[in-house]
């Protein structure tokens, strides 16, 4: 299967991108692994004809927004993101109608049709930088209430937030963190900004998935409690074989991130199946918001 994928990638002039939460056997086959921001940047820079995106739907959509001339394949079309589904253009327009005019900062975990209504996008790696780049002191962040509140805690700006959340991260309680800390008292606690503010308050650092890999590498500490999807334990251990990583909870599993299996990648490349394409009337305004974020980040 692995050789077949390598041959097909060559034949199709394709690049394979994988999110850090993907199973390790998929990450090992990928040309590039990373967090949402890094994968967006890669998707905007590749000269391949085809992008095979091993992640979830909004990530493949963002690649299509950035590279309309390329075929973007999501090997499992039903790999979605429950948080991204919590906001629609209709519900966003309704909320905006009740607020004074203000910029909209949209987390990349959102549909392209919502990005199309936004001022700028952000990821967990650059949310504060994006918010601080705006001249306005009052803004709306969608769809993640936790990312919005965690960002608000670090800026003087007034942030209105949408009531969306990631079920995987939101379900972690401060009690669960305290319990794991009790088991590993010397460990550093790294939390993802999608966790609740009460959880992030207990963290030594709030980081994107790739931010966690860098942080652990640079840290003198030998042990880390990981406050994000359990798939992160694999890439953290691979990058830091001499250090220990403990999930804050074994229940932090994103079912959507585990949908793609190696056979799906073969089928997708063989039959060019699972194309994700954003219509031009949505793509153009969405591109503005994504591009504005990328320009701040490279
Ligand atoms: P990162 O951008 O930090 O990789 O996060 C993506 C995500 O979906 C977290 O749940
Ligand atoms: Fe979406 Fe949460 Fe899964 Fe990330 S972990 S893809 S935010 S459901």
Q: Read off the pTM.
A: 0.96
Name the helix (H) or strand (E) containing 217: helix 209-218
Whether ligand 2 lies within 6 angstroms of the CB of 17 is answered as no
Whether ligand 1 lies within 6 angstroms of the CB of 213 is answered as no
Can you give the pLDDT at residue 298?
81
Ligand 1 mean position to 100 CA, how many Å?
A: 30
Can you give the pLDDT at residue 261?
97
94-142 tens-digit pLDDT:
999 999 999 999 999 999 999 999 999 999 999 999 999 999 999 999 9
- DSSP structure class, residue 86: G
1.10.3130.10, 1.10.150.130, 3.90.1640.10, 3.40.50.10800: which CATH number matches 172-251?
Answer: 3.40.50.10800
- Average pLDDT, whole number, for the chain? 97
Can you give the pLDDT at residue 10?
97
CATH number for the domain formed by residue range(s) 2-80+257-277: 3.40.50.10800
Residue 189 CB coordination number (10 Å): 21
Ligand 1 mean position to 11 CA, how many Å?
A: 31
* Residue ranges with strand state E in the chain: 14-19, 32-34, 50-54, 71-73, 104-107, 120-122, 138-142, 158-161, 188-191, 205-206, 223-227, 244-247
Can you give the pLDDT at residue 297?
87
Q: Where are the domains of the chain?
A: 2-80+257-277, 84-165+285-297, 172-251
Handedness of CA 41, 46, 49, 52 (dihedral sign): negative
Whether ligand 2 lies within 6 angstroms of the CB of 256 is answered as yes
Pocket test for ligand 1, best of 151, 209, 226, 254 (most atoms within 8 A of CB): 209
Ligand 2 mean position to 11 CA, how many Å?
A: 32
- The atom number, within ligand 1, closest to the CA of 81 reads 8
CATH number for the domain formed by residue range(s) 84-165+285-297: 3.40.50.10800
Q: Using 50 as the pLDDT threshold, list the residues of the chain that sit under it.
A: none
Q: What percent of the chain lies above the pLDDT cut of 90? A: 99
């Amino acid at each position: 299967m692995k050789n077949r994928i390598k041959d097909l990638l060559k034949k199709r002039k394709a690049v394979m991108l994988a999110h850090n939460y993907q199973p390790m056997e998929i990450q090992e086959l990928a040309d590039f692994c990373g967090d949402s921001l890094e994968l967006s940047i890669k998707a905007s820079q590749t000269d391949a004809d085809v992008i095979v995106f091993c992640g979830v739907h909004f990530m493949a959509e963002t690649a299509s927004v950035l590279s309309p001339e390329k075929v973007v394949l999501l090997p499992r079309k039903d790999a979605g993101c429950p948080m991204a589904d919590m906001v629609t253009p209709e519900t966003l327009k309704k909320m905006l109608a009740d607020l004074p005019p203000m910029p909209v900062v949209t987390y990349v975990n959102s549909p392209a049709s919502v990005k199309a209504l936004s001022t700028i996008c952000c990821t967990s790696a650059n949310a504060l930088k994006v918010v601080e780049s705006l001249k306005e002191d009052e803004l709306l962040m969608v769809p993640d209430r936790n990312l919005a509140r965690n960002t608000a805690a670090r800026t003087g700006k007034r942030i209105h937030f949408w009531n969306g959340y990631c079920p995987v991260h939101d379900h972690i309680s401060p009690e669960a963190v305290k319990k794991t800390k009790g088991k590993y008292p010397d460990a550093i606690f790294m939390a993802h900004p999608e966790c609740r503010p009460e959880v992030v308050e207990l963290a030594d650092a709030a980081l994107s998935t790739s931010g966690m890999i860098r942080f652990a590498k640079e840290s003198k500490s030998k042990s880390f409690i990981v406050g994000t999807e359990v798939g992160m334990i694999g890439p953290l251990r691979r990058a830091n074989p001499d250090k220990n990583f403990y999930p804050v909870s074994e229940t932090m599993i994103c079912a959507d991130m585990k949908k793609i299996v190696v056979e799906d990648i073969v089928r997708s490349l063989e039959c060019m199946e699972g194309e994700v394409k954003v219509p031009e009337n949505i793509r153009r305004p969405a591109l503005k918001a994504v591009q504005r974020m990328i320009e701040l980040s490279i």
